[in-house]
Structure 1
Amino acid sequence: MLRTLVIAAHPDEPEIYAGGTAALLARAGHAVKFLTLTNGDAGHHELERGPLARRRAQEAVRAADALGVIDYEIFDVHDGMLEPTVELRLRVLAQIRAWRPDLVIALHADGGGHPDNRAAGQLAAHAVEFAMTRNLEVGKPALERMPLCLLMTDYASAPVHRADVVVDVSPVLTAKLDACLAHASQFLEFAPWQRGFLDQAPPAGDVAAGRAFVLEHWAEFAEEETFQLAGYGRKADVEEVRRLLAGTREPAA
């Protein structure tokens, strides 16, 4: 069984950038965990931080159910305030050692865009470097083998992202869309408000219209997911990663 840890900055990012791969892995019998390093409490045009954080945690549970993700952990760090500190690096390291992943998927550490996303990428990269270092104690035993690490894209990193591996997620597209719709505060409210098409968003209860809405407005991330070999973690070539992710195919009927 392959153990995968997806590390992002905000709830809803693992779903849109790696949710299809997560669903394929889960359906093939592998274990997937999502970890976000903030609680997403800034991401709304109407809700205050406290109610929004609670709502987004509830949305994350529903999204995990849609994908078959068995654990979804959210750090209690304010959205918009994530910094790559030593304290947070050690918290991420403890999560990595506790989950003992074979595969880590994280955001790019460099570039523009949301500062939280870049900080999350840095924290993942720096934490993985110490995964096997026994004398750096975080309450969990050091790994015996480095995980293989991949980078997922987001809006800001898309121009520099290298698609070393492409995963066709069309077999689980409905599950991915439903996981995104579970985050209604983002895909049906905040992001449409930010991007100027809130008036086109369907009501949360209209599943068919919601799927079509996400598919239309997030088309570049919907039906395939691309990953870049990270410059940290266990060294691997593209062919090894492809063989590893061959397990994402659904079992034959």
Structure 2
Amino acid sequence: MAGQLAPMPEDWQRALAVVAHPDDLEYGCAAAVAHWTDGGREVAYVLATRGEAGIDSLEPAISGPLREAEQRASAEVAGVGSVEFLDHRDGVIEYGPALRRDIAAAIRRHRPHLVITLNHRDTWGGTYRNTPDHVAVGRAALDAAADAGNRWIFPELGAEGLVPWGGVRWVAVFGSDRPTHAVDAGPGLERGIRSLLAHRTYVEALTEEDPEQYCRNLLTDGVQQAADRFGGRPAVTFELFPC
């Protein structure tokens, strides 16, 4: 059995979650977010796209606004009031200075101590291919955590009134196959399930199963997989990078 997972640090007040699409955070991470917001911490969401290319049966012009609305409702369930969209194009997000700049700007705006992002590696556990959008945004978020504190990288942000922020202490990668830390999923699990269910249009396009049962089974099974490495408790896992 792999080694035990350490509890996530708790000596922080503000977090910023940066992902590619609506629903990316809801496949487990939102249970941790709900637990944190219940404890008085502030969490904001930044999404690179509106997920407009994610539902084959819906034109992007229809899908994008619908998925944005569902993401805002989902975030509210988890206690998150700030949701921003960077308006990169779904499916073809490019890693590079433009993406890093947009994320660094968001970090300067929100001034988080913790940045959260999704798996930045090419595969899920060495088996299934990860999407280029997830890889690009995950890599850019890791880089932007440092970029945000350097006034000579993207100096135009300073001219826009966004002063450097070097207060990011960790980047936590959700969905990593190399987790180091975990959060007890129990307190936030029911809200995590409801936050995923808020993406009803997307969920119904994924499965013929009852949407509520699909969300419950998926998240319950997912957090249980880490229990043997976290004192028998169902857990949301992260790979934690100190900054």
Q: What is the TM-score when the length of structure 2 is the normalising length?
A: 0.81
| Alpha-carbon offset, residue 218 of structure 1 | 4.2
Instruction: Say yes or no: does 1:127 pair with 2:144.
Output: yes
SS of 1:229's equivalent in the other structure is strand
| Alpha-carbon offset, residue 180 of structure 1 | 0.4
The one-letter amino acid paired with 2:26 is E
Instruction: Say yes or no: does 1:70 pair with 2:92.
Output: no
Are the counterparts in 2 of residues 14 and 34 from structure 1 also a CA contact under 8 Å? no
Question: CA–CA distance in 1 between the matches of 2:101 and 2:67?
Answer: 25
Show the 5 A alignment for 1:141-152: 141-152=163-174
User: 2:6 maps to what in 1?
Assistant: none
User: 1:23 maps to what in 2?
Assistant: 34
Within the candidate set 186, 194, 197, 1:181 is matched to: 197
| Alpha-carbon offset, residue 147 of structure 1 | 2.8
User: 2:205 maps to what in 1?
Assistant: 190
SS of 1:171's equivalent in the other structure is coil
Question: CA–CA distance in 1 between the matches of 2:85 and 2:235?
Answer: 26
Question: CA–CA distance in 1 between the matches of 2:117 and 2:24?
Answer: 10
User: 1:250 maps to what in 2?
Assistant: none
Instruction: Say yes or no: does 1:162 pair with 2:162.
Output: no
SS of 2:117's equivalent in the other structure is strand
Are the counterparts in 2 of residues 7 and 120 from structure 1 also a CA contact under 8 Å? yes
**CA spacing shift, 1:145–1:70, aligned 2, 3 Å:** same
SS of 1:40's equivalent in the other structure is coil
Question: CA–CA distance in 1 between the matches of 2:219 and 2:32?
Answer: 16
Within the candidate set 207, 210, 215, 1:201 is matched to: 210
Question: CA–CA distance in 2 between the matches of 1:146 and 1:62?
Answer: 27
| Alpha-carbon offset, residue 51 of structure 1 | 0.6
**CA spacing shift, 1:146–1:66, aligned 2, 3 Å:** closer
User: 1:118 maps to what in 2?
Assistant: 135
Question: CA–CA distance in 2 between the matches of 1:181 and 1:57?
Answer: 14
Question: CA–CA distance in 2 between the matches of 1:38 and 1:220?
Answer: 28
1:82-112 Cα shifts (integer Å, max 9, x gaps): 0112112111100011100000111232223
Q: What is the TM-score when the length of structure 1 is the normalising length?
A: 0.78
The one-letter amino acid paired with 2:148 is A
The root-mean-square deviation of aligned C-alpha atoms, in Å, is 1.7
Question: CA–CA distance in 2 between the matches of 1:27 and 1:172?
Answer: 9
User: 2:70 maps to what in 1?
Assistant: 59
Percent of paired sites with the same residue: 28
| Equivalent residues, number | 211
1:49-70 Cα shifts (integer Å, max 9, x gaps): 0110000011011111111012
Are the counterparts in 1 of residues 150 and 166 from structure 2 also a CA contact under 8 Å? no
Question: CA–CA distance in 1 between the matches of 2:113 and 2:215?
Answer: 31
Show the 5 A alignment for 1:203-222: 210=212, 212-222=213-223
**CA spacing shift, 1:220–1:75, aligned 2, 3 Å:** farther
User: 1:228 maps to what in 2?
Assistant: 239
Question: CA–CA distance in 2 between the matches of 1:90 and 1:100?
Answer: 15
